[in-house]
Every structure is written in structure tokens, then in C-alpha cells.
Amino acid sequence: MRKQFKNTIMDLSLTDENIVMILGDVSVYLFNEFNTKYPDRFYNMGICENTLISVAAGLGSQGLTPFVHTIAPFITERSFEQIKLDFCYNGFGGNIVSCGASFDYAWDGATHHCYTDLAILRLLPGMEVLQPGSQKELDILLRSRYNNGKPTYFRLSDHPHDIDAPVEFGKGCVIKDSGADLTVVTAGPVLGNVLEACKDLNVNLIYFNTIKPIDRKIISQFKNTKMLVIHDAFGLYEALCAIPDLTVSYHGLPDEFCSWYGTLHDIREKIGLDVKSIKATINSKL
């Protein structure tokens, strides 16, 4: 998905001279081409995430379109106050693009895991929070939102799904409508596992790539069913909980640090987000 990020930026930059790349010593080689073509607008600015956000807000205040890009926990959890005040409260526009969220850096341990980013950023007034699940979703969402004058968060993944779902900012989509009493709700790359688990089950399945604003309209279509959020992060569940009169439960992160290493698949299996465990969880709700 990072390559798609670079490709989309390169394409947009052909006609948009306001794009400024600010990297936190991540993806520097990937953006060599941008650096070569637009050296005045490329900055591997430093491993100082708080300041990357503040500087980007300053650039945004003058009508430029900054992209701050680095590892998810450091640019969101560490820099939450800068995002809250320098971008959101001040009403300056810009883009924050993370990599390595959830367990993409499983082997690096809990210091590099990040599963609260969507949940904390959706609390900020004026913030747009996106979790594209595939390259296609990233490309469409990035093009549609990157220069709208608002702070927008794009959460990239190194493990995208390959499902061709409809993509529109702020819209969820119904992947499966079985007229069932249970509706599974998910977002982002974990859709791959969730869809596989739901394949032979009598459930509905709704998918999101926009966490904020959440698409209430599509949820309302299933408001009379029980809802089960299956997600490898926080944020989607809380977004549904904010909608009145729904019956919502959550299957995903445990209330403990994931102090194991290995791969994304190892962690998903451990916390019950592999296909088999998801299927068992859904069956227990039927």
C-alpha cells in the first residue's frame, strides 16, 4: 500500500505544486523519485514527530498541502496534542499518513504496535479518519480528500486485502446482506479474514474504510439486527456505540499489551482474529 501511496502522490504532483512531503525518517528511499523531481518540497525532517505535525500545520496555514508520513504510534499517539491543537483547533489543513499500524510491525513488539490511533483521532472535531483496506481504496480516498483544507488521517497497511469493494469517502458498503439477525461490521485490511469467516454463515456483513465520519445511513439499514464489530483496532466499535439504539458487541483487541513478536498472522491468531477464531466467535453469537 505504501507503493500505491507513492504512486498516487507522484501522479497528483504532476499538476499540484502545493504538495509538500514531510517524512520522519521512514519511506525515504521509496520517495526518492519525488525528492529528485521536487527537492524543494521533500523533507526527511527528522525523528521528531511532534514537530513534524506542528510544522505541517504551519505549512497548511499558508495554503500548502503537507503530507506527514511516519510510523503510526509515534505520529498519532505521541503527537496527539499537536494534531488536536495545531491542526484541528486551529483549523489548518493537512494530511497524516501512517504506516505500521495495528500489528504490521508485530516482530518489533508492543512499543511499535498501534491500535488506538483511529479511536483517539475520531474524537477530534474537524478530523477525518480513514482506514483504506486496499491499494484501490487508498488511491481513491487520497485523491478525494487530500486537499480539502481539513486535517485527514490515512492509515496505511502492509497487508491490504484484495477484495474489490465500492469506495467512496464517508460511505460504508454492504458486502453481504442475508437478511440475518446478526450483522458483522468491520473495517480495513482485516476484511480479508472476516469475509472468509462469514462465507458460509448466515450473517450480514458491512465494511467501512472511513471511520470518521461514520456512515450512519448504512448502519441504520441494519439497526434491528445485533451488531458484532470485528476489528484489529479500536475506533470503529466506539463509532457504532455513539449511535443510539443499537445492540453492539466487539471482538478484537484484548485489554492487555500484545507482548508477543512474530508476524501479523501470529498476532491475529493469538488474539482471535484469524479466520477460524472469527468464525467461532460469530457462531457463538448466532
Question: How many Å apart are CA 110 and CA 153, to the nearest integer?
Answer: 22
* Cβ 88 to other proteins shortest distance, Å: 10
* Cβ 172 to other proteins shortest distance, Å: 33
Strand 204-208 to 173-176 pairing: antiparallel
* Cβ 5 to other proteins shortest distance, Å: 22
* Cβ 117 to other proteins shortest distance, Å: 20
* Cβ 50 to other proteins shortest distance, Å: 5
For other proteins, which stretch binds (CB under 8 A), given 79-87, 139-147, 156-164, 204-212? 79-87
Question: How many Å apart are CA 61 and CA 94, to the nearest integer?
Answer: 9
What values do phi and psi take at 52, rounded to 5? -55, -40
* Cβ 86 to other proteins shortest distance, Å: 6
Question: How many Å apart are CA 122 and CA 129, to the nearest integer?
Answer: 6
Q: Is residue 85 close enough to count as binding other proteins by CB under 8 A?
A: yes
Q: Is residue 69 close enough to count as binding other proteins by CB under 8 A?
A: no
Q: Is residue 59 close enough to count as binding other proteins by CB under 8 A?
A: yes
Q: Is residue 50 close enough to count as binding other proteins by CB under 8 A?
A: yes
For residue 83, give the C-alpha cell. 494534531
For other proteins, which stretch binds (CB under 8 A), given 48-56, 96-104, 164-172, 240-248? 48-56
Q: List beta partners, residue 182.
A: 226
Q: Which of 64, 163, 174, 275 binds other proteins (CB under 8 A)?
A: 64
- What's the distance, CA 261 to chain centroid? 22
Q: Is residue 126 close enough to count as binding other proteins by CB under 8 A?
A: no
Q: Which of 13, 35, 77, 91 binds other proteins (CB under 8 A)?
A: 91
With CB under 8 A, what is the number of residues at the site for other proteins?
29
Contacts of 261 (CB under 8 A, 6+ apart): 106, 107, 108, 109
Instruction: Compute the half-sphere exposure of residue 26: CA atoms within 13 Å on the CB side of its CA.
Output: 19
> H-type helices in 62-149, by residue range?
72, 80-82, 117-121, 135-145
By CB under 8 A, the residues from 1 to 20 that bind other proteins are: 20
Q: List beta partners, residue 70.
A: 98
Residue that has been written with the C-alpha cell 471511520 in this structure: 211
For other proteins, which stretch binds (CB under 8 A), given 2-10, 56-64, 157-165, 180-188? 56-64
Residue that has been written with the C-alpha cell 503530507 in this structure: 67
x/- mask, other proteins, residues 136-175, rule CB under 8 A, reads ----------------------------------------
Question: How many Å apart are CA 150 and CA 152, to the nearest integer?
Answer: 6
Containing 59, the helix (H) or strand (E) segment is helix 49-61
Q: Is residue 257 close enough to count as binding other proteins by CB under 8 A?
A: no
Task: Specify the length of the chain in residues.
Answer: 286
Q: Which of 41, 69, 145, 268 binds other proteins (CB under 8 A)?
A: 41
Binding site for other proteins (CB under 8 A): 20, 40-41, 43, 45-46, 48, 50-51, 53-64, 66, 81-82, 85-86, 89-91
